[in-house]
Amino acid sequence: MITRRQWLYGMGLIAGCGTQVGRASGAAAANEALPATGPAPLELSQYEPRSMLRVRESRVERSRFPNIDFHTHISGSTKSEKGVELSADREYLGTPQELLAVMDRKNIRAMVNLTGGYERGLAEAVAKYDRAYPGRFYTFTEPSYSGFKEPNYPTLQAQAIERAHQDGARGLKILKTLGLYLRENITSGSLVKIDDARFDPMWDACGQLNIPVAIHISDPIAFFTPTDRFNERYEELNNHPDWSFYGGDFPSNAELIAARNRLIARHPKTQFVAVHVGNFAEDLQNVSENLDRFPNMSVDLAARVGELGRQPVTARKFFDKYQERILFGTDATPHGDDYPQQVFNDQLYEIYYRFLETNDEYFDYAPAKIPPQGRWRIYGIDLPDSILRKVYFENAARLLRL
């Protein structure tokens, strides 16, 4: 006997069996419809599902209040080896003119160029951007690691911070070099720990000069697990195998965070901005506990809108509680097309604004066909004006002493 449901299915009238239309009706035909082998296997990289969800799509072209992008990379070292930057000379990823055009369109009052380097490279970057366009660019210095083996390196590096400050540096940036790349013989030997005492005078110098330290340690927790079928960032690690810190002599994420915490505890007069949401956006409970412990710690949002936006309820509470200590930042890199989550363009900023200012649902966290940091989408958290003002501008302005 053919039931009504089987009949409808055979006629292609039940959703999901449109391929049946035009074929012979009846239960038998329905069973024959698919070949015994099923559909051909599909490469993961070829899979580009289009969401069928119909929800509101807002476009936020300008941030509601002027913002400071606290985390950008306008310049970089011309030479690095095994993850350690070894040259004072800078290469520039975008001209001031092309950056200013986007900044004016997107309501970006200023960009903080974290990777300004040191010595002549720093002075040149400050002259080209900060001094040429006052109030639009702020450049940070970085440690010079090439002299790390010299016995008086701790003092020299502290003095270098003072000179950099005189040359116009507004803060110190630490890339994840410390803890993951710098070794006893610079590029060989055992890894140097984040809280190595040889850097103590440098952290203190920043405290005395009242300039913030933007510190990047660790990476998404998935980078510390095998690149296998269980890894939620499998495609990202597959595209960038050198981003994996699984195996070898790499410390665990927990060890890196513990070392950073010891450092922050030991230098209470130095302001630390733990970038990328305290480098643990997957665990806001952990970030919250550390913010509670360390009054001299803040965080930025850079390249973690994908993590925050997939936990909108927790993220919204986090912004509420720590509204004085969260800084707007994107990790924007001009022409960084290989890293859509941080490519400097209009679309990137619109995604951040949409996340912060709307309660839109299920949208892309990066301007890319395939989500580059894991296959999920995000939700907006609809912050009130009072919090937006702090996150977009006031918190950064306070730390930079504008």
The residues binding Zn ion (CB under 5 A) are 331
Q: What's the alpha-carbon Rg for the chain, to the nearest Å?
A: 25
Beta carbon of residue 312, minimum distance to Zn ion (angstroms, whole number)? 24
Report the Cα 181 to chain-centroid distance in Å: 19
CB atoms within 10 A of CB 354: 22
Closer of 175 and 315 to Zn ion (Cβ): 175
Task: Give every strand in the sheet of 213-215, ordered side by side.
Answer: 172-174, 213-215, 272-274, 297-300, 326-327
Beta carbon of residue 220, minimum distance to Zn ion (angstroms, whole number)? 13
User: Among 12, 10, 9, 15, which residue's Cα sits nearest to residue 26?
Assistant: 10
Q: Are 33 and 27 in contact (CB under 8 A)?
A: no
Beta carbon of residue 273, minimum distance to Zn ion (angstroms, whole number)? 11
Beta carbon of residue 151, minimum distance to Zn ion (angstroms, whole number)? 32
Give the span between the Cα atoms of 322 and 83, in whole angstroms: 33
How far, CA to CA in Å, does 48 sit from each of 90, 289, 306, 367, 378?
38, 38, 18, 14, 17
Beta carbon of residue 116, minimum distance to Zn ion (angstroms, whole number)? 13
Residue 355 one-letter amino acid: F
Closer of 215 and 257 to Zn ion (Cβ): 215
Give the span between the Cα atoms of 297 and 292, in whole angstroms: 9
Beta carbon of residue 12, minimum distance to Zn ion (angstroms, whole number)? 52
H helices present in 322-400, as ranges: 346-357, 385-389, 395-400
Closer of 331 and 357 to Zn ion (Cβ): 331
Closer of 142 and 331 to Zn ion (Cβ): 331
* Position of minimal CB gap to Zn ion: 331
For residue 115, count CB atoms less than 10 angstroms from its CB and return exposed for 0-12, middle for 13-18, buried for 19 or more: buried
Closer of 30 and 391 to Zn ion (Cβ): 391
Closer of 331 and 350 to Zn ion (Cβ): 331
Closer of 10 and 329 to Zn ion (Cβ): 329
Beta carbon of residue 317, minimum distance to Zn ion (angstroms, whole number)? 26
User: For residue 135, how many C-alpha atoms fall within 13 Å in the half-sphere facing its CB?
Assistant: 5
